[in-house]
Chain A
Amino acid sequence: MSLLSDPKAAVDDLSRPEAWVLGVSVAFALFLLGALLTGALGPTYFLFLVGLAGMYALLSFGLNAQWGFTGLINFSVAAFFGIGAYGSALMTADSSPIAGGFNPLVGLAVALVVAFVLALLIGIPTLRLRADYLAIASLGLAEVVRLIVLNERWLTNGSAGVRGIPSFFEGWPVFSTLPETMPGLRLVVIPGSPILLGTSFWRASLNVLLVLAFAGATFFVLRRAHRSPWGRVLRTIRSDEDLARALGKNTYSYKMQSFVLGSLIMALAGVFYTHLNLYVGPGDLDPITTFYAWVAVILGGSGSNRGALFGGIVIVTIREGTRFLNDVALPIDPAPLRLLLIGVVIVAVMRYRPQGILPPQRELIWPSAVDDRDPPDPPSSGVREQKGGGGDE
């Protein structure tokens, strides 16, 4: 089933939506490649977009670990994202009102610890609640976090936000100076419009490398966790919490574990965002971030990690595509257009494909269980015939 060993069989093996997604993705990639080669899309900006897509994919992974695995309606994604971003920004930035100037790795550790504590603070009261109450309560608590970040100037610099954030690789042996030491490249694909790859390009490549590392590690951890006995308990809770309890599982504890795991991943996305954007403000905690992550997850297919990845890419396309559209064709303010598209996507998915585009199917089965190179021969005759019956057909 590997794409490399037997591409034709692998393609034949895809379900229809999978084939569609693959086709559209390939077309989209070719389109981007064309834009890159003709110089319509700057390579540095493209890498920034890749980083952003990775970040949304991380956020969606985090939400997927909560909603997709366990069925927790968490509307406080933005709070964890923001706490991750602020945690690392306040630790590393020059203009930080409290500490500042630490190594970004310290920032990462602090952000994760703070997110862990916040996850417990939000989770302990709310995870006992009914599903729809959990949604409202978590949205409310996320707003409380946003208001605190906005108003406690001594801690967060208030509405001015935090600037002067170093890159994630600051202070690392080789990576910190890599962008400066790499030679500037000059590619001429189309005569007359050369593509220059300078320091900023290499810096952006490092960021992409970082998000690939974060997202890749998260993806494999989540995939492994989802198939494990632990993941099976979570799936049981999602489909029937009373059943899980009847089987002797402490569902509250499992829900808390899944909530904390997801929250840490969201905080990781925030940490990456800090070092990608190099500025963090209270606007980053706006509830819209929460709903971006939600759209990514329900569009991709709740419970499916590759669906979350796909959803993350769609979100960035909507976000940046509206901006591009505004520059090129339609003079509509991109902000409401984006909101409209997000709303339409939510309604359309719920109306026509509530399970999402790539719902988890084979993802949940151990590969060794399906990936049988030598499938057992089907019996040459039916059971009924062997018993000598079958007269009723």
Chain B
Amino acid sequence: MTVLGYLANGLVFSSIIVLGSIGLSLVYSIADFANFAHGDTMTVGAYSALVTFGAVGGLGGAVLGLPYGFFLALVAGIAVAAVVAVGTEKLVYEPLDVDSIGLLITSIGIAFIYRAVIQIRFGSDFTRFGIQPLRPIEALVPYGVRVTLHDVAIVGSAVVLVGGLHVLLQYTDLGRKMRAMADNPDLARVSGIRTKRVKLWTWVIGAGLAGAGGVFLGLFNQLSPRMGFNLLLVIFAAVILGGIGSVYGAMAGGFLIGMINQLTPFFSNVVEALPIWPGWLAALLESLISIEYANAIAFVIMVAVLLVRPNGIAGEGAT
């Protein structure tokens, strides 16, 4: 594969990570805790879409190789993820009388409950949406880019969702309230913003985007009850790289982490080609920069960013 090919894959994977990281960052800044159940919210979205798609079927026509029914399933995935998250906030997080560390620990329990319920219902095996895998787009293959129409659909939908969020944050009343609350919750409350309601909307938006990310992740790879939890740390890496609490930072961080993740094979080719001296260093780098360690590289970047620039590459939180 050529560089262009890796970049194209990176773009697709980045779209999924961005969808996940925006929600995590929003919840981190407005509900003020690291939500370890965010990955499993993605799983909830993916499986809801699976059930919906199984129920409604294709519904006739298709766009970008995806039947209409799939888009309905996508909406269902987003809706169910949002409803589940709001229900959890109302039933579990809101009545709790603990600090943000307590909320963090609780969210781990919530993550386990989501995953366990899905695993009891669907088993722990991998499944797929019942959609024919497509061949790569012929016109792009000569350039070494092997993306399918499905991948184009993923990127396109992600761009639409992220664009919608941008409009919401910048030009609507709710967006201004959310930004005010992320900045200073007490001040926002004193100014007459109904912070509880804003918090609920934050959950709706964050979990909805996560649900969409989960559906696309299921389309990109496959579905399994662990899919979200496995991605959670990568998403955390993206959020931290972008700066916690900054939505645009989360987008940038998600984009970078997704790219780095998919470009790892390319980097390992580069390392092999470079004349690195001494030999043991070359051997070490070659063994460490390989596809098996794609996630590990993201985690190491995350720790490095935490140490060097705890506010992330975007600097001070500018939601």
Contacts and interface: CB of A to CB of B under 8 A. Distances in A.
A354 B97 contact: yes
Interface in B111-145: 111-113, 115-117, 119-120, 123-124
B296 A137 contact: no
Interface in A102-151: 125-126, 128-133, 135-137, 139-141, 143-144, 147-148, 150-151
Interface stretch (A52-60, A210-218, A305-313, A344-352): A344-352
A133 B306 contact: yes
A268 interface: no
Given A141-B303, A143-B299, A347-B110, A133 B310 contact: yes
B112 A333 contact: no
Interface of B is mostly: helix
Contacts of A126: 303, 306
B124 A346 contact: no
Interface stretch (B1-9, B11-19, B101-109, B257-265): B101-109
Contacts of A336: 115-117, 119-120, 124, 225
A337 interface: yes
Interface residues of A, number: 42
Nearest to B239: A136
Residue among A137, A150, A294, A347 having the largest count of chain B Cβ atoms under 10 Å:
A347
A339 B112 contact: yes
A147 B293 CA distance: 7
- B92, B124, B307: residue with the most chain A Cβ atoms closer than 10 Å: B307
A312 to B, nearest CB: 18
B109 A345 contact: yes
A65 interface: no
B62 interface: no
Interface in B213-247: 225, 233, 236-237, 240
Contact of A333 (B105, B119, B233, B310): B119
Contacts, number: 126
A336 B40 CA distance: 14
Interface residues of B, number: 44
Contacts of B109: 342-347, 350
Contacts of B123: 333
Contact of A346 (B97, B106, B120, B293): B106
Interface in B27-76: 33-34
A291 interface: yes
A126 B303 CA distance: 8
A342 B112 contact: yes
B96 interface: yes
Contact of B108 (A141, A147, A294, A344): A294
Contacts of A30: none
B113 A343 contact: yes
A140 B233 contact: yes
B302 interface: yes
A291 B120 contact: no
Contacts of B290: 151
B275 interface: no
A24 interface: no
A78 interface: no
B223 to A, nearest CB: 15
A80 to B, nearest CB: 17
A65 B261 CA distance: 36
B302 A137 contact: yes
Contacts of B316: none
B122 to A, nearest CB: 10
A147 B292 contact: yes
B318 interface: no
Nearest to A138: B303
Contact of B101 (A73, A152, A347): A73
B192 interface: no
B243 to A, nearest CB: 12
B21 interface: no
Interface in B284-319: 287, 290, 292-293, 295-296, 299-300, 302-303, 306-307, 310
Contact of B296 (A131, A147, A339, A354): A147
A333 B113 contact: no
Given A132-B100, A143-B296, A147-B295, A137 B306 contact: yes
Given A132-B33, A291-B108, A346-B106, A140 B299 contact: yes
Given A143-B296, A346-B112, A347-B106, 17 more contacts: A129-B306, A132-B100, A132-B101, A133-B310, A136-B236, A140-B233, A140-B237, A140-B302, A342-B109, A342-B112, A343-B109, A343-B111, A344-B113, A347-B110, A350-B105, A350-B106, A354-B102
7 contacts: A136-B236, A143-B233, A143-B295, A340-B113, A340-B117, A343-B108, A347-B109
